[in-house]
Amino acid sequence: MDLDESFSSESSVDSDEELQEAFAAGKLRPGLNLELPASSKTINNTAGLNQTLLTIKKNLPWLERLDVTSKPATTHKDLISQSETDVHDDFKRELRFYCQAQATVLEVIPRLHSMSIPTKRPEDFFAQMAKSDDHMKRVREKLVEKQTAIERSEKAKKLRELRKYGKKVQIEVIQKRQKEKKEMLDAVKKYRKGQKDKLDFLENLPGEKKNSQNKKSADNLRPNKKREFKNKKFGFGGQKKRSKMNTKSSALDMSEFNPNINQKKPGKTGKGKPKPGNKNKRPGKARRQKAKSRKK
């Protein structure tokens, strides 16, 4: 059916409905329309159908008719059994048509060869398709749309399941933390009341585990000896000025301090008395001059 025919059929249906509504409301004059009762009986006139079939039937040879009645091919039994379960599935219905056409071809071609009729199509053969390209394009778009809708619904279903699983895991983690906190508070209360003598519950705190993990990761990221020596020698290629500046850590570092070298010895204890450690020290200039004058 073309689009124009569908539009005309829809408009005719709308007009009939409008007439029925107007007739029910009493807007139409009597005599123009006749209300007929709905027929409730169905008639199966087999004799009349057979008689009509005889009148239109023509006794032509099979080569003029080329009619074949066959079942679907046996090579697709599994697919056909699946297609029988759901007749409203477009893909499976088309697959059944394909299997039945395949079985027909397998039956007819040997029959034509026995009658010496060529079945190979010539190269310049031209046959008009039963359905137009526009119609097939619309069918293909419809099938793709259905497939994308199915994939979208499956993806949304997976996302919902993942959200439910994430919420479940989050609730379990929160409950576990609350349980650990409650146990630790109970242990602290028991320790305060004197029911416990040891603080073993403080060793398994979650913060300590994290600190130990951070220490392990820091040790793993530490450079080797060669890299440390080069870093110390070349200074990472960074800033060189203010490298000898004293800092709080360097000022408090007393590892290189040697009191025998850096610490000054005590001087004189009183006037005129030499220092205990300076016996061979040269006297001053005034004393030397006085000593010379005495010798003279």
Range of the domain at 198: 142-202
- pTM to 2 decimal places: 0.28
Beta bridge partners of 273: 270
Indicate the residue among 187, 202, 217 that finishes a domain. Answer: 202
Tell me how many domains the chain contains.
3
Look at residue 15 and tell me if it is in a domain: yes
pLDDT tens sequence across 28-47: 766 666 667 776 777 888 99
What are phi and psi for residue 97, nearest 5 degrees? -60, -40
What was the pLDDT predicted at 235?
65
Look at residue 267 and tell me if it is in a domain: no
* Helix pair 133-193, 90-114: axis angle to 10 deg: 140
Question: How is residue 237 annotated by DSSP?
Answer: G
d(CA 94, CA 100): 10
pLDDT tens sequence across 55-100: 888 888 888 888 888 887 766 555 555 445 567 778 778 888 888 8
Nearest to 102 by CA among 80, 123, 130: 80
148 lies in the same domain as 194: yes
67 lies in the same domain as 98: yes
What are phi and psi for residue 273, nearest 5 degrees? -95, 125
Q: Which amino acid is at 60?
A: L
Look at residue 102 and tell me if it is in a domain: yes
Largest Cα span, the chain: 179
Nearest to 76 by CA among 93, 94, 107, 100: 100
What was the pLDDT predicted at 144?
92
